[in-house]
């Protein structure tokens, strides 16, 4: 555990060292520090995950915090694994990505320092067992990421996004502070262990809801999601990936930690989690379909995937609440595995989006097309990520979603009306989410990488940045390993999943393991079939003429790239179907005279919750705060008067106290 | 039994298409092509070379083989009526649906790979309709799991044998629902018209517009096999499990023939729906599947 602390300290130290190095080498310095830290962080984490004892460390801080216990139990170790790997990959990626800022007014050292602080804060969040210390680290995480989001602070939209993010995080934190304060006053101690008894008393549903809102804001559960589509496009890509792939998971961690303390959650809380998660999943991916900004689209997919993770957790909670161990095991297995999977494929996709942005200088997919001819390696890696996020077999997303499906299907085996109905709703919901993800990623991949370019690209677009490609290749490898060798990967999850279902028997777990071994076998047959048919095709085409000609265009002899289907036209039949949920905003200047000089049409979609819930709320708060507007007049004399009045009041009060 | 299943996978799809076309021809007063014509076409295509668009990438060449492999995998998971499936495990129907989903993903991006606006149109419609079919299919599967208490294709079909009123009602609802799915997934009238591959209203045919030679053969075979698979699913629900292998097999083949002839008649009698009305038609499948689920709930909990 001491090793672990060294690792945590190493990251900011490495980051501070970048101040003294040249702009070119800052990325390398930080990456090396992160690499060394990996050793200290991963060794204890892997030992714990492999079956070793949970590690813990006590230290004393000054008064309000008191004794801090850092514990590395399997759950914490699992998140440490994700955080430290995600941090290292983001560091390596930044070497390549941040090159464009080397000669700009932005200071790269600040970037690495806040990244180092963010990673360390996250590591402490998942290990801290002291409420106040946890909250302090939670805030440090929010603030460090705020500075990272507003890195390009010269742009107004970035500043706005950063502030929006910071405010959203503070509102979330306010709920957490309230919830923790309630817990601490009941238990009389800051230590998490003492919360266990508090949860046994009545009222745990409402306190859980308070926590759920607080942690859900970080995780991006609907309706607390509105910061994600703003902050992710604004942040540099390495940060987007780190935030989306890793940081929002700390919200999930919070919920899971609560569940560990709660033991057996009550039924209402389980249905609440399942319901919110389903809404998040469906709402997230529906909005993603309507987006044309690549990073905004990926941000909405984070909401979707947090939804899927939540569905898994919800199923697991239902399993616990109804004392069905197998359902609980499957739900938590799926949810937790999806946490890891989402880290891999979402980081991969964000890194890919970053490469596209750094090459084409646009995030609008409508301006892309045919990128596979220019960036073949990026394209293939992005395809792997797309297939994984769509939950398709052979890739990692399928394995975690399959576990969740299996949990739901087990839910039909229990004679309980509400559980059966919940199973059906979530079964159809997850299938709906899956097929919508297919729609969204066929759109993204097809429009960005295939076809022909819709606008002229800058010259010399090539796959020439190994520092950016290397993390992607690693992640794609992990995705394929999990996707193909689920039978080997699932047993590794046993320690973590068992923590949530203490009462399960070995037989129940063995049965689940067996299913995943069978899946691996079947998928191996699938791979053989694919290669078999490819070989057959090759044999059939041997000594046959294979002509290369242009795309069949009905004899119309002009190739106009702009006539290709665009992202919005591809999505339009679907967005038309769900126009009640994704309102489309259209502006049309139609050509008017016989010889029209101009005509213009723009369309963009709105976020329903943003439109009808968040914006009115902000307007209400603003209206209320306007009442106090007169206080800030801008006149110095008036402010001095305030000071004087304050002093006089203070004087009277003190005299009165005497 | 394994040999029989492979034989059916290899031969029946062609006969199925042949029978549909024959029915349409006979109804139109023509003699029509031989039943085995799709088979001859298949082998002719296999012997040909290819023309490949210069816009395309490896996706275009990979896609047909991958689609065929995925549909083939689905075929191995699905049992024949009264028989065992070659690959079975808990929740195997999820892989069944998702393998077809993988095929769909590659079919769509291969269409977008050509950069043709026709194919983009087809791709967009294909995936839009799939967003309605997929949840409905899972609702249907959920009803079957609930009524049978089992969780793999083979064991579900083995235990929905009973013939009380409730079960028959559920079976009827599921059958109609699956038949709609067959029309949608097979791209038949009233959703799509396989004869009109250069009009702006088509879906599946236009996505294969740039394919030729063996790749086209693979795609056509895969889509025919997919239709037969949904037909097999339907047959598994209708045909009682305990009839014995020979009788089940005869009934199964007869049922497939009936389905093919029905499709032929539908295509002779009615026109394709307007594109904007297709979703409503597919929502019928959702409604029927939901109805099946509600009936199962009534059956299990004896009313509310």
- The torsion region of residue B115 among left (phi > 0), alpha (psi -120 to 50) and beta comes to left
What pLDDT score was predicted for residue A203?
A: 63
Q: Do A533 and B53 touch (CB under 8 A)?
A: no
How far apart, in whole angstroms, are the C-alpha atoms of residue A404 and residue A422?
Answer: 13
Q: Do B215 and A537 touch (CB under 8 A)?
A: yes
Strands A600-605 and A546-549, how do they pair? unpaired
- A393, A518, A565 member nearest B124 (Cβ): A565
Looking from the CA of A87 toward its CB, the CA atoms found within 13 Å total: 38
- Residue range A594-605: mean pLDDT, rounded: 84
What pLDDT score was predicted for residue B124?
A: 94
Which two tokens mark B77?
């998971």
- Residue range A72-93: mean pLDDT, rounded: 95
**Nearest to A331, CA basis, from A438, A467, A426:** A426
A521-565, pLDDT tens digit by residue?
999 999 999 999 999 999 999 999 999 988 887 777 667 888 888
Q: Do A370 and B115 touch (CB under 8 A)?
A: yes
**To which residue do tokens 């239709």 refer?**
B227
> Which chain A residues have a beta carbon less than 8 Å from that of B121?
565
Of A481-485, A492-496, A587-591, least confident by mean pLDDT is A587-591
Q: Do A392 and B102 touch (CB under 8 A)?
A: yes
B140-153, pLDDT tens digit by residue?
999 999 999 899 99
Q: How far is CA A656 from the centre of its chain?
A: 55
- Residue range B151-168: mean pLDDT, rounded: 86
Q: Does A569 touch chain B (CB under 8 A)?
A: yes
* H or E stretch covering A577: helix A567-577
What pLDDT score was predicted for residue A107?
A: 85
Q: Does A468 touch chain B (CB under 8 A)?
A: no
SS3 A560: coil
Distance of residue B249 Cα from the nearest chain A Cα, in angstroms: 26
pLDDT at A111 over 60: yes
Looking from the CA of A189 toward its CB, the CA atoms found within 13 Å total: 13
- Residue range A225-249: mean pLDDT, rounded: 94
Residues 6+ apart with CB under 8 A from A140: A117, A121
Residue A432: pLDDT band with limits 50, 70, 90: very high
Question: Which residue in chain B is spatially nearest to A445 when comparing CA positions?
Answer: B109
Residue A589: pLDDT band with limits 50, 70, 90: confident
Strands B50-53 and A546-549, how do they pair? parallel
How far apart, in whole angstroms, are the C-alpha atoms of residue A162 and residue A166?
Answer: 6
pLDDT at B164 over 90: no
Report the residue of A561, A570, A579 to disrupt the B interface, i.e. the one with the largest count of B CBs within 10 Å: A570
- Residue range A44-66: mean pLDDT, rounded: 87
What pLDDT score was predicted for residue A165?
A: 95
B280-301, pLDDT tens digit by residue?
999 999 999 999 999 999 888 8
**Nearest to A42, CA basis, from A2, A73, A90, A85:** A85
Q: Do A398 and B98 touch (CB under 8 A)?
A: yes
Domain ranges of chain B: 2-23+35-301
| Cis previous bond, B190, omega within 30 | yes
pLDDT at B68 over 80: yes
Summary mean pLDDT of chain A = 92
- Residue range B96-108: mean pLDDT, rounded: 96
Q: Do B139 and A427 touch (CB under 8 A)?
A: yes
Summary mean pLDDT of chain B = 92
> Is the complex ipTM higher than 0.90?
yes
> Which chain B residues have a beta carbon less than 8 Å from that of A452?
55, 115
Q: What is the sign of the dihedral through the CA atoms of B101, B102, B106 and B112?
A: positive
> Which chain B residues have a beta carbon less than 8 Å from that of A530?
65-66, 69
Q: Does A429 touch chain B (CB under 8 A)?
A: yes
What pLDDT score was predicted for residue B201?
A: 64
Distances (CA, A) of B18 to A549, B27, B33, B64: 32, 14, 8, 22
Q: Does A581 touch chain B (CB under 8 A)?
A: no
How far apart, in whole angstroms, are the C-alpha atoms of residue A537 and residue A527?
Answer: 15
**Nearest to A93, CA basis, from A262, A224, A246:** A246
pLDDT at B304 over 60: no
Of A27-41, A117-131, B156-170, least confident by mean pLDDT is B156-170
Q: Does A377 touch chain B (CB under 8 A)?
A: no
**Nearest to A273, CA basis, from A307, A320, A227, A248:** A307
Q: Are A589 and A598 within 8 A, CB to CB? A: yes
Q: Do A447 and B112 touch (CB under 8 A)?
A: yes
How far apart, in whole angstroms, are the C-alpha atoms of residue A363 and residue B227?
Answer: 40
Q: Are B5 and B83 within 8 A, CB to CB? A: yes
B197-243, pLDDT tens digit by residue?
666 667 888 898 899 999 999 999 999 999 999 999 999 999 988 88
- Residue range A459-484: mean pLDDT, rounded: 93
A154-196, pLDDT tens digit by residue?
999 999 999 999 999 999 999 999 999 999 998 888 899 888 8
What pLDDT score was predicted for residue B200?
A: 64
How far apart, in whole angstroms, are the C-alpha atoms of residue A58 and residue A7?
Answer: 17
Q: Do A450 and B76 touch (CB under 8 A)?
A: no
- Residue A35's CB: how many other CB atoms inside 10 A? 14
Which two tokens mark A580?
């009640």
Which two tokens mark A465?
């940045």
3-state percent helix, strand, coil for chain A, nearest multiple of 5: 75, 5, 20
Q: How far is CA A593 from the centre of its chain?
A: 50
Distance of residue B28 Cα from the nearest chain A Cα, in angstroms: 29
Report the residue of A282, A329, A384, A392 to disrupt the B interface, i.e. the one with the largest count of B CBs within 10 Å: A392
Q: Do B102 and A394 touch (CB under 8 A)?
A: yes
Gyration radius of chain B over CA positions? 19
Q: Are A433 and A307 within 8 A, CB to CB? A: yes
A392-421, pLDDT tens digit by residue?
999 999 999 999 999 999 999 998 999 999
Question: Which residue in chain B is spatially nearest to A416 when comparing CA positions?
Answer: B301
> Which chain B residues have a beta carbon less than 8 Å from that of A369?
115
Q: Report the 3 state secondary structure along chain B.
A: CHHHHHHHHHHHHHHHHHHHHHHHHHHCCCCCCCCCHHHHHHHHHHHCCEEEECCCCHHHHHHHHHHHHHHHHHHHHCCCCCCCCCCCCCCHHHHHHHHHHHHHHHHHHHHHHCCCHHHHHHHHHHHHHHHHHHHHHHHHHHHHHHHHCCCCHHHHHHCCCCCCHHHHHHHHHHHHHHHHHHHHHCCCCCCCCCCCCCCCCCCHHHHCCCCCHHHHHHHHHHHHHHHHHHHHHHHHHHCCHHHCHHHHHHHHHHHHHHHHHHHHHHHHHCCCCCHHHHHHHHHHHHHHHHHHHHHHHHHHHCCC
Q: Does A406 touch chain B (CB under 8 A)?
A: yes
Distance of residue B70 Cα from the nearest chain A Cα, in angstroms: 7
Q: Does A537 touch chain B (CB under 8 A)?
A: yes
| A–B interface: beta-carbon pairs under 8 A | 252
Residues 6+ apart with CB under 8 A from B267: B20, B24, B188, B189, B193
A342-400, pLDDT tens digit by residue?
999 999 999 999 999 999 999 999 999 999 999 999 999 999 999 999 999 999 999 99
Question: Which residue in chain B is spatially nearest to A561 when comparing CA positions?
Answer: B115
> Which chain A residues have a beta carbon less than 8 Å from that of B46?
540
Report the residue of B64, B86, B96, B135 to disrupt the A interface, i.e. the one with the largest count of A CBs within 10 Å: B135
pLDDT at B127 over 80: yes
A16-35, pLDDT tens digit by residue?
999 998 888 899 999 999 99
How far apart, in whole angstroms, are the C-alpha atoms of residue A460 and residue B198?
Answer: 38
Distance of residue B277 Cα from the nearest chain A Cα, in angstroms: 11
> Which chain B residues have a beta carbon less than 8 Å from that of A541?
49-50, 213-214
Question: Which residue in chain B is spatially nearest to A398 when comparing CA positions?
Answer: B98
Q: Do A387 and B102 touch (CB under 8 A)?
A: yes
- Residue range B243-258: mean pLDDT, rounded: 93
């Amino acid at each position: 555990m001491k090793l672990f602390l060294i690792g945590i300290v190493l990251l900011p130290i490495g980051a501070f060292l970048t101040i003294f190095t040249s702009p070119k080498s800052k990325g390398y310095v930080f990456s090396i520090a992160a690499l060394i830290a990996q050793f200290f962080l991963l060794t204890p984490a892997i030992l714990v995950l492999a079956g070793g004892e949970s590690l813990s460390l006590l230290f004393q801080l000054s008064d309000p915090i008191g004794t801090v216990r850092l514990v590395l139990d399997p759950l914490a170790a699992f998140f440490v694994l994700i955080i430290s790997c995600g941090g290292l990959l983001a560091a390596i990626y930044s070497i390549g990505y941040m090159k464009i800022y080397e000669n700009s007014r932005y200071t790269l050292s600040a970037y690495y320092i806040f990244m180092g602080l963010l990673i360390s804060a996250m590591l402490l969040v998942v290990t801290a067992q002291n409420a106040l210390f946890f909250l302090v680290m939670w805030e440090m995480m929010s603030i460090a990421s705020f500075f990272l989001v507003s890195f390009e602070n010269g742009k107004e939209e970035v500043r706005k996004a950063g502030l929006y993010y910071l405010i959203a995080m503070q509102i979330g934190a306010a709920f957490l502070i309230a919830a923790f304060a309630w817990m601490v006053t009941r238990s009389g101690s800051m230590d998490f262990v003492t919360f266990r008894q508090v949860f046994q008393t009545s009222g745990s549903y409402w306190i859980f809801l308070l926590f759920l809102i607080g942690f859900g804001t970080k995780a991006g559960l609907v309706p607390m999601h509105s910061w994600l589509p703003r902050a992710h496009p604004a942040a540099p890509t390495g940060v987007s990936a780190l935030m989306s792939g890793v940081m929002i998971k700390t919200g999930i961690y919070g919920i899971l930690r609560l569940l560990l303390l709660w033991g057996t959650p009550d039924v209402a809380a389980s249905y609440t989690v399942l319901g919110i998660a389903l809404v998040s999943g469906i709402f997230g991916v529906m909005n993603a379909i309507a987006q044309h900004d690549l990073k905004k689209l990926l941000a909405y997919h984070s909401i979707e995937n947090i939804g899927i993770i939540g569905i898994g957790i919800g199923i697991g909670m239902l399993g616990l609440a109804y004392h069905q161990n197998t359902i609980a095991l499957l739900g938590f297995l799926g949810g937790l595995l999806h946490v890891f999977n989402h880290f891999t494929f979402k980081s991969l996709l964000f890194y890919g989006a970053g490469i596209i942005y750094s090459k084409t200088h646009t995030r609008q997919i409508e301006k892309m097309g045919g990128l596979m001819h220019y960036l073949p390696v990026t394209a293939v890696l992005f395809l792997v990520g797309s297939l994984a996020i769509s939950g398709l077999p052979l890739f990692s997303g399928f394995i975690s979603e399959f576990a969740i499906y299996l949990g739901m299907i087990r839910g039909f085996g229990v004679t309980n009306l509400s559980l059966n109905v919940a199973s059906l709703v979530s079964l159809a919901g997850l299938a709906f989410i899956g097929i919508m993800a297919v729609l969204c990623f066929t759109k993204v991949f097809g429009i960005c990488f295939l076809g022909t370019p819709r606008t002229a690209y800058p010259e010399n677009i090539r796959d020439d940045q190994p520092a950016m490609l290397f993390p992607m290749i690693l992640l794609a490898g992990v995705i394929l390993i999990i996707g193909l060798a689920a039978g080997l990967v699932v047993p590794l999850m046993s320690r973590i999943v068992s923590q949530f279902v203490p009462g399960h028997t070995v037989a129940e777990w063995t049965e689940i393991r067996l299913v995943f071994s069978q899946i691996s076998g079947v998928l191996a047959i699938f791979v053989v079939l694919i290669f078999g048919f490819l070989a057959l095709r090759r044999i059939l085409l041997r000594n046959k003429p294979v002509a290369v000609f242009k795309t069949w265009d009905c004899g119309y002899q002009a190739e106009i790239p702009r006539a290709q289907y665009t992202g919005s036209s591809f999505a339009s039949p679907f967005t038309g179907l769900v126009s009640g949920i994704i309102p489309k905003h259209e502006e049309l200047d139609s050509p008017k005279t016989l010889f029209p000089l101009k005509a213009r049409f723009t369309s963009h979609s709105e976020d329903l919750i943003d439109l009808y819930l968040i914006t009115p709320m902000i307007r209400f708060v603003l209206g209320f705060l306007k009442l106090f507007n007169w206080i800030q007049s801008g006149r110095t004399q008036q402010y001095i008067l305030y000071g004087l009045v304050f002093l006089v009041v203070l004087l009277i009060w003190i005299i009165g106290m005497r | 039994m394994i040999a029989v299943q492979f034989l059916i996978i290899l031969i029946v799809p062609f006969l199925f298409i042949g029978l549909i076309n024959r029915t349409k021809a006979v109804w139109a007063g023509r003699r029509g092509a031989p039943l085995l014509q799709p088979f001859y076409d298949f082998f002719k295509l296999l012997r040909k070379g290819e023309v490949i668009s210069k816009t395309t990438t490896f996706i275009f060449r990979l896609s047909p083989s991958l689609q065929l492999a995925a549909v083939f995998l689905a075929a191995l998971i699905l049992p024949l009526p009264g028989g065992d499936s070659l690959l079975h495990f808990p929740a195997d129907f999820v892989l069944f649906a998702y393998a077809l989903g993988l095929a769909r993903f590659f079919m769509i991006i291969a269409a977008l790979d050509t950069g043709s606006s026709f194919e983009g149109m087809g791709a967009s419609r294909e995936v839009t309709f799939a967003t309605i079919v997929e949840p409905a299919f899972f609702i249907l599967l959920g009803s079957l799991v609930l009524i049978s208490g089992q969780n793999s294709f083979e064991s579900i079909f083995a235990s929905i044998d009973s013939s009380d009123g409730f079960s028959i009602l559920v079976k009827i609802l599921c059958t109609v629902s699956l038949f709609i799915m067959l029309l949608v997934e097979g791209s038949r009238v009233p959703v799509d018209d396989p004869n009109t591959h250069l009009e702006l209203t088509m879906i599946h045919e236009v996505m294969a517009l740039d394919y030729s030679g063996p790749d086209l053969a693979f795609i056509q075979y895969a889509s025919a096999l997919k239709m037969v698979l949904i037909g097999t699913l339907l047959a598994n629900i209708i045909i009682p499990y305990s009839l014995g292998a020979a009788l089940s097999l005869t009934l199964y083949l007869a049922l497939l023939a009936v389905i093919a002839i029905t499709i032929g008649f539908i295509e002779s009698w009615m026109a394709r729906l307007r594109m904007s009305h297709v979703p409503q038609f597919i929502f019928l499948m959702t409604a029927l599947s939901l109805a099946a689920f509600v009936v199962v709930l009534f059956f299990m909990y004896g009313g509310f």
